[in-house]
């Protein structure tokens, strides 16, 4: 078992630097580096302290069966929401995406319809217009995006996406800090 490699993977998943992990465990950055390169072995107490900071139970850490992350999400697993009154459909491409850092969706807007208006947030939004044309209303400004064009904005103002096309428009949207 490569203890150092497992510690490093857990640290990276937690988004911590070696220095931050060292500060939280009262260890030096250099010692954390030595542990991760398997140049030093921690005491049981030190290892358990590191695992506690990294949010990993010792039983999980020593489990030889490696957890395999889900990479491919089949079409059947995708979920939908249709708002007939407002004329849009959301297709969640990754079912548990609201628990992740990014939330990818496919948004279909019927002719002259609009997606709901959102309050300001810390989120960032990326979009790719698959078909049609949309207006992105961001604060007091409006931006037009046609099929094949991308949009990207910080959601620090009220914002809304409106279909400005004679026919349906489709977008692929990815947001951080899920708010959809």
Q: Is the model's pTM score more than 0.85? A: no
Q: In this structure, are residues 156 and 179 in contact, taking their beta carbons and an 8 Å threshold?
A: no
Q: How many domains does the chain divide into?
A: 2
Same domain (yes/no): 53, 123: no
- From first to last of its 180 residues, the chain has per-residue pLDDT tens of 689 999 999 999 888 999 999 999 999 999 999 999 999 999 999 999 999 999 999 988 888 766 677 889 899 988 999 999 999 999 999 887 777 788 999 999 999 999 999 999 889 999 999 999 999 999 999 999 999 999 999 999 999 999 989 999 999 999 987 666
User: Is the domain of 88 the same as that of 164?
Assistant: yes
CATH label of the domain that carries residue 125: 2.60.120.10
Burial 142-178 (b: 16+ CB within 10 A, else e): eeebeeeeebebebeeebebbbbbeebbbbbbbbbee
- What is the domain extent for residue 36? 3-62
Whether residue 157 lies inside any domain: the answer is yes
Question: Does 83 lie in the same domain as 165?
Answer: yes
- Do 124 and 159 fall into the same domain? yes
158 and 92 together in one domain = yes
């Amino acid at each position: 078992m490569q203890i150092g490699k497992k510690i490093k993977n857990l640290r990276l998943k937690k988004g911590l630097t070696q220095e931050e992990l060292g500060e939280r465990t009262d260890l030096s950055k250099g010692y954390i580096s030595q542990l991760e390169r398997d140049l030093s072995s921690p005491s049981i107490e030190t290892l358990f302290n590191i695992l506690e900071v990294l949010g990993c139970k010792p039983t999980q850490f020593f489990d030889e069966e490696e957890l395999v992350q889900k990479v491919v999400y089949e079409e059947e697993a995708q979920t939908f929401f249709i708002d007939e009154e407002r004329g849009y459909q959301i297709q969640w491409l990754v079912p548990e995406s609201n628990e992740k850092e990014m939330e990818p969706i496919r948004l279909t807007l019927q002719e002259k319809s609009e997606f709901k208006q959102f309050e300001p947030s810390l989120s960032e939004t990326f979009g790719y217009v698959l078909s049609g044309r949309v207006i992105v209303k961001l604060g007091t400004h409006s931006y037009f995006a046609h099929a094949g064009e991308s949009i990207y904005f910080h959601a620090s103002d009220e914002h809304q996406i409106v279909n400005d096309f004679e026919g349906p428009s489709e977008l692929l949207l990815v947001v951080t800090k899920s708010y959809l």
